């Protein structure tokens, strides 16, 4: 990579704490925000690259930020005002891409961090996209289907000026799903007067979705973990896995692990967790959740807390719920050999340092959970061409990209003598910096 610094990292990096990681500025015990995490990671990784300070400042800054407040008529006739965001972080390598989150804790800073991670993620897996993210401050579970549709259609209308198949393509994230993508696509298409399927990805199959998209993130996590095991010479079959979060990413990761011959010994969601040292029957648990609306009460496992899950002795811990779950207060309890980040930003920089010191391998989010955006890219390509692929082709291409990306990151980490997160960031930021340099500054 032409843009890498020639000097060895030990020489070129300022290490205030002697470990290469800068101390987070938040007060002791305070929850660290995703934005602080994203900026701390960037500041650390950029020191390994020969990037002009002005370009570094540009790469650290979001290009475009839209905040919208809009009314929604509720079922009881009341009008409620909601706030949402859409942030484009960077478009040097192509149109911006990133999910839409519905959650009460959404904030502009969180959306900025998630948009920045999208830019590096797309660059790490080498797909021609920049990064974006969106969100609405809402608890979707408290809304009826009708209210959710009204909120989605109005939010889409508000952000319509800055989304398009050529410019910025949303997708699902926490709290959103294929139905919500269908409403977004329909709303945008109504404004245009014709169908525009490529404006969002993660849609249902019957309106231009891709086979394998729903499962792509979780599958991608396990393809990456399997490649990591191969690389380190560890035995994959029969290895023990603990998964935090049983939503789209967590439940598919658990199913994929089960199908690939691993033993899923612990699982959790926001209500609590389950443990069975002999392995949980994941398809049976998914069926139980479908019937009961919760994983709590499943009789073939003991109840555990989320803290127990994080501290579970196992081969692979997959945080697949949300940010900041492995942090300075619990990182020392982690006993897994490997942490595979299904969620975005689940490990804070302080926790990263602790895990590194303990010799625990962390497969970073921008590599590990990139399967979702890779198959979103496939969906967009299929929509543009109106030519659809078999699921087998999708999975095969996905696996090839995840394996190649893991190898790229691993090689970078080996050559530079750094952990996988730093290597992934150096690779991703380096590619975006190179594209910026090639394009030049306008005007
Ligand atoms: P989701 O809404 O489908 O599921 C989230 C899950 O996390 C739920 O099971 C919920 O109960 C659980 N959860 C929430 N808070 C928790 C807590 N404090 N402790 C334990 N469990 C908790 O969301 P998702 O789409 O699966 O996304 C999960 C994470 O993966 C997010 O960080 C998201 O940004 C990231 N991600 C998602 C995709 C995708 O394609 N959906 C792609 C890449 C990354």
CATH number at residue 305: 3.40.50.720
Q: Is the CB of 348 under 6 A from ligand 1?
A: no
Bridge pairing between strands 130-137 and 272-275:
unpaired
Residues 198 and 292 in one domain: no
Active site residue 133: yes
- Residue with CA nearest ligand 1 atom 23: 174
Ligand 1 pocket member 212 (CB < 6 A): no
Is the same domain home to 229 and 148?
A: no
Within this chain, do residues 114 and 216 fall inside the same structural domain, yes or no? no
Query: Cα–Cα distance between 114 and 213 in angstroms, integer?
Result: 20
Question: Is the shortest distance between the CB of 344 and ligand 1 below 6 Å?
Answer: yes
Q: Give ∠ CA 424-37-309 in degrees, rounded to 5.
A: 85
Reduce the DSSP state of residue 201 to 3 states and report it.
coil
Catalytic: which of 97, 121, 133, 263? Answer: 133
- 216 plus 198 within the same structural domain: no
Question: Are residues 245 and 163 part of one domain?
Answer: no
* Minimum CA distance residue for ligand 1 atom 41: 173
**Does any domain span residue 380?**
no
- H/E segment holding residue 151: helix 145-159
Residue ranges making up the domain that contains 322? 1-22+31-45+211-370+392-443
Helix (H) or strand (E) holding 244, with range, is strand 240-244
Give distance in angstroms: CA of 48 to centre of ligand 1.
Answer: 31
User: Is residue 324 included in any domain, yes or no?
Assistant: yes
Joined together, the tokens standing for residue 189 give 């298409």
**CATH number, domain at 119?**
3.40.50.10860
Closest Cα to atom 36 of ligand 1: 343
Of all protein residues, the one whose alpha carbon is nearest to atom 35 of ligand 1 is 343
> 270 CB less than 6 Å from ligand 1?
yes
Per-residue pLDDT of the chain (443 residues; tens, 9 = 90+): 445 553 333 323 222 233 333 333 333 333 468 999 999 999 999 999 999 999 999 999 999 999 999 999 999 999 999 999 999 999 999 999 999 999 999 999 999 999 999 999 999 999 999 999 999 999 999 999 999 999 999 999 999 999 999 999 999 999 999 999 999 999 999 999 999 999 999 999 999 999 999 999 999 999 999 999 999 999 999 999 999 999 999 999 999 999 999 999 999 999 999 999 999 999 999 999 999 999 999 999 999 999 999 999 999 999 999 999 999 999 999 999 999 999 999 999 999 999 999 999 999 999 999 999 999 999 999 999 999 999 999 999 999 999 999 999 999 999 999 999 999 999 999 999 999 999 999 99
Are 156 and 231 in the same domain?
Answer: no
Same-domain status, 268 and 405: yes
pLDDT value of residue 33: 87
Q: Is the CB of 382 under 6 A from ligand 1?
A: no
Q: Do 295 and 273 sit in the same domain of this protein? A: yes
Do 329 and 439 belong to one domain?
yes
Residues paired with residue 137 on neighbouring β-strands, in sequence order: 103
For the CA of 249, the nearest atom of ligand 1: 26
Give backbone dihedrals phi and psi of 323, rounded to 5 degrees, phi first. -70, 165
Task: Tell which of 208, 223, 258 closes a domain.
Answer: 208
Q: What is the largest CA-CA distance in the chain?
A: 65
- The span from the CA of 129 to the CA of 112, in Å, is 16
Q: Where are the alpha helices (DSSP H) in 178-262?
A: 178-192, 213-232, 248-259
- Considering the domain architecture, whether residues 311 and 398 belong to the same structural domain is answered as yes
Ligand 1, atom 4, lies closest to the CA of 247
pLDDT value of residue 184:
99
Q: Does residue 372 have its Cβ closer than 6 Å to ligand 1?
A: yes
The CA distance from 49 to 56, in Å, is 10
The pLDDT of residue 146 = 98
Specify the pTM. 0.93
Inter-residue contact 59 to 433 (CB < 8 Å): yes
Please tell me the total count of domains within the chain. Answer: 2
* Predicted pLDDT at 288: 97
Same domain, 152 and 219: no
- Establish if 52 belongs to a structural domain: no
Assess if residue 430 is contained within a domain: yes
- Domain end marker among 181, 208, 235: 208
Answer yes or no: is 377 within a domain.
no
Atom of ligand 1 nearest to the CA of 346: 32
Same domain, 334 and 226: yes
Q: What's the rounded Cα separation, in Å, for the pair 303 and 276?
A: 9
Domain boundary among 208, 223, 257: 208
């Amino acid at each position: 990579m032409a843009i890498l610094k020639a000097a060895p990292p030990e020489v070129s990096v300022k290490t205030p704490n002697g470990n290469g990681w800068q101390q987070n500025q938040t007060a002791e015990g305070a929850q660290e925000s995703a934005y602080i995490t994203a900026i701390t990671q960037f500041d650390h990784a950029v020191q390994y690259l020969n990037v002009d300070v002005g370009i570094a400042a540009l790469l650290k800054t979001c290009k475009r930020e839209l905040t919208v407040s809009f009314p929604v008529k509720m079922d009881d006739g009341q009008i409620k005002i909601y706030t949402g965001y859409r942030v484009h972080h960077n478009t040097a390598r192509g149109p911006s891409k990133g999910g839409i989150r519905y959650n009460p804790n959404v904030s502009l800073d969180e959306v900025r961090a998630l948009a920045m991670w999208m830019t590096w993620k797309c660059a790490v897996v080498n797909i021609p996209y920049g990064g974006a993210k969106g969100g609405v401050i809402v608890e979707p579970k408290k809304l009826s289907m009708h209210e959710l549709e009204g909120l989605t259609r109005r939010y889409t209308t508000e952000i319509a000026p800055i989304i398009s198949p050529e410019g910025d393509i949303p997708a699902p994230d926490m709290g959103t799903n294929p139905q919500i993508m269908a409403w977004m696509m329909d709303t945008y298409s109504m404004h245009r007067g014709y169908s525009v399927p490529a404006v969002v990805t993660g849609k249902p199959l019957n309106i231009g979705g891709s086979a394998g998209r729903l499962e792509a993130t979780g599958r991608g996590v396990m393809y990456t973990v399997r490649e990591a095991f191969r690389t380190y010479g560890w035995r994959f079959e029969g290895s023990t896995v603990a998964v935090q979060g049983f939503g789209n990413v967590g439940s598919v990761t658990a199913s994929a692990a089960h199908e690939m011959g691993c033993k899923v010994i612990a699982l959790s969601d926001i209500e609590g967790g389950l443990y069975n040292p002999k392995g949980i029957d994941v398809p049976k648990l998914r069926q139980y959740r479908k019937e009961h609306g919760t994983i709590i009460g499943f009789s073939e496992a003991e109840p555990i807390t989320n803290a127990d899950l994080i501290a579970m002795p196992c081969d692979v811990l997959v945080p697949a719920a949300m940010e900041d779950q492995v942090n300075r207060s619990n990182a020392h309890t982690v006993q897994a050999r490997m942490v595979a980040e299904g969620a975005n930003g689940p490990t804070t920089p302080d926790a990263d340092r602790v895990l590194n010191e303990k010799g625990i391998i962390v497969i970073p989010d921008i590599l590990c959970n990139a399967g979702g955006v890779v198959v979103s890219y496939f969906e967009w390509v299929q929509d543009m061409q109106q030519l659809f692929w078999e699921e087998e082709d999708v999975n095969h291409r996905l696996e090839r990209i995840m394996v190649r990306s893991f190898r790229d990151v691993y090689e970078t980490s080996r050559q530079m003598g750094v952990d996988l997160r730093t290597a992934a960031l150096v690779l991703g930021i380096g590619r975006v910096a190179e594209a910026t340099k090639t394009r030049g500054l306008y005007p």
